[in-house]
Amino acid sequence: MKFITLTLFLVLPFASLIAQTTEEGLPFLSLEEAIEIGLVNNYSIRIAKVNEEIATTNNNAGNAGFLPRVTANGSLNYTSSNTRQQFFSGDERSGVGAGNTQARAGIGLTWTAFDGFRMFAARDRLQLSEDRSKTFTKSEMQDLVTAIQSAYYGLARIKQQIGIVEQSIQLNKSLLELAEAKLKIGTGTSLDVLQTSNNLNADSSALLNLKDQFQQSAIGMNRLIGRSPDIQYEVTADLPSVILPSYDELQNAAIQNNYALSLLGYDEKIALAQIREVRSSLFPTVDLNAGMNYNYSKAEVGFLLSNRSYGPTVGVSFNYDLFPGRNIKKDIQVAEKVKENILLQKADLSLQVSSELMQLYKQYLALERLKELEKGNILTAEKNVALASELYRSGRATSLDVREAILGETRVRDRLSDVEFRQKLTEINIKNLTGMVFM
């Protein structure tokens, strides 16, 4: 038995699988192929991957506030005005339609050197959001793989039922031939022939119902893996058994690998980062400024004919909100309550996972004992059918006795198939709960 994580499972070399077809000419769909198709086509997975790309794109130093802000500005103005100027010396200067040209250009850089550690909290939040998005995508994949496995083995269960009924039909055909032969030689009756023929018809009707049920379930599988519902295929009738590890190992795996718990863990860390961001508003902000400016002016009337200046500027600015327009302490209290709710949800989910795991594990063990019992019952039922058929040939039993023996074997085989199917579903649910998948 080989357990693997979901990530490794998704990169298995599916391309090496060899296409198979059944005797009816229908393509054979393996479980691995169904999972591969589903992971590519399923819309929930595709949406989750897009959201993951969005979270990855948003996780950068600029959004966290680590990078400086660079701005460029410029202006060019021209004014025409009537001017009359009188000086203390008695001189007078005037102009009609005097022009005044002003040009200004500059580039500036502002870098926040300290913002109450907001940028560090924002960086952690963005990274956690990206990690959570990736975990959510894996969770969606895990859920889809679980659903595909359950649906696939549901088809396998119907295939087993079809095989059981087909075996019953073959037994009844042999019984009908024997009844007709006995009627010809005068040791049988027409009643035996009619009863056996009715039994054969009943099994044939049950077979048709099962085949229709298989087709309906196959359409559901096609919808689950995101392909056209009219695609026909066959599946294996095997229900491979996988022995589970001990309950303690499963419990540890559930605590460490359960995706729902992991997502709540990320929610808790994100809430803590948001609290740190809110608390940063209680601190002042210090910005470093640098720039390069150019100014030019020209006037037809005035003291100066033209003026030009340019050069670098540097500085430090300090800002502290005495009243930011809201109660920051209340915002912190709300954020703390959000974190408290997440912790309560996490504790509740942990208890729920542990309880569900114990129930599933006990159910798995009970089904294992029941499976071994039904295997013994099959041996008894087979001997009963063989004995009833031999007694019927010798005239010491009726066709009804043989039919009852055949029905008994059919019921036992169906019960064993049902037990194996229920145990397989239990295994799948346990692996899903513990964050594991299996081949």
User: Tens of pLDDT along the chain (439 residues)?
Assistant: 333 333 333 333 323 333 344 556 789 999 999 999 999 998 889 999 999 999 999 999 999 999 999 999 999 888 877 777 666 666 776 767 667 888 899 999 999 999 889 999 999 999 999 999 999 999 999 999 999 999 999 999 999 999 989 988 888 888 788 878 878 887 777 887 888 888 888 889 999 999 999 999 999 999 999 899 999 999 998 888 878 889 999 999 998 899 999 999 999 999 999 999 988 888 899 999 999 999 988 776 655 567 788 889 999 999 988 877 667 788 888 889 999 999 999 999 999 999 999 999 999 999 999 999 999 999 999 999 889 888 878 878 877 788 788 888 888 999 999 999 999 999 999 999 998 864 4
The C-alpha atoms of residue 297 and residue 104 are separated, in whole angstroms, by: 9
Instruction: Give Cα 14 to chain centroid, integer Å.
Output: 20
91 lies in some domain: no
Q: Identify the three-state secondary structure at position 304.
A: coil
Count of domains observed in the chain: 1
CATH number, domain with residue 244 = 1.20.1600.10
Residue 281 DSSP symbol:
G
CA distance 298 to 22: 92
Q: What is the 3-state secondary structure (H, E, C) of the chain?
A: CCCECHHHHHCCCHHHCCCEECCCCCEECCHHHHHHHHHHHCHHHHHHHHHHHHHHHHCCHHHHCCCCEEEEEEEEEEEEEEEEEECCCCCEEEEEEEEEEEEEEEEEEEEEEECCCHHHHHHHHHHHHHHHHHHHHHHHHHHHHHHHHHHHHHHHHHHHHHHHHHHHHHHHHHHHHHHHHHHHCCCCCHHHHHHHHHHHHHHHHHHHHHHHHHHHHHHHHHHHCCCCCCCCCECCCCCCCCCCCCHHHHHHHHHHHCHHHHHHHHHHHHHHHHHHHHHHHHCCEEEEEEEEEEEEEEECCCCCCEEEEEEEEEEEEEECCCCCCCCHHHHHHHHHHHHHHHHHHHHHHHHHHHHHHHHHHHHHHHHHHHHHHHHHHHHHHHHHHHHHHHHHHCCCCCHHHHHHHHHHHHHHHHHHHHHHHHHHHHHHHHHHHCCCECC
Q: How far apart are the first and last CA of the chain?
A: 9
In a domain, 93, yes or no: no
pTM of the full predicted structure? 0.78
Residue 382 lies in a domain: yes
In Å, how far are 179, 193, 293, 403 from 184, measured between CA atoms? 9, 11, 119, 21
In a domain, 310, yes or no: yes
The answer to whether 259 and 139 are in contact (CB under 8 A) is yes
* Under 8 Å between Cβ of 192 and 399: yes
Q: Is residue 92 part of a domain?
A: no
Is residue 296 assigned to a domain?
yes
Rounded-to-integer distance, Cα 27 and Cα 60, Å = 48
Query: Can you list the positions of beta strands (E) in 143-231?
Result: none
Structural domain that includes position 343: 6-13+31-80+99-283+291-433
Quick check: is 438 in a domain? no
Locate tokens 């009359």: which residue? 84
86 located within any domain: no
Token output for 105: 């250009």
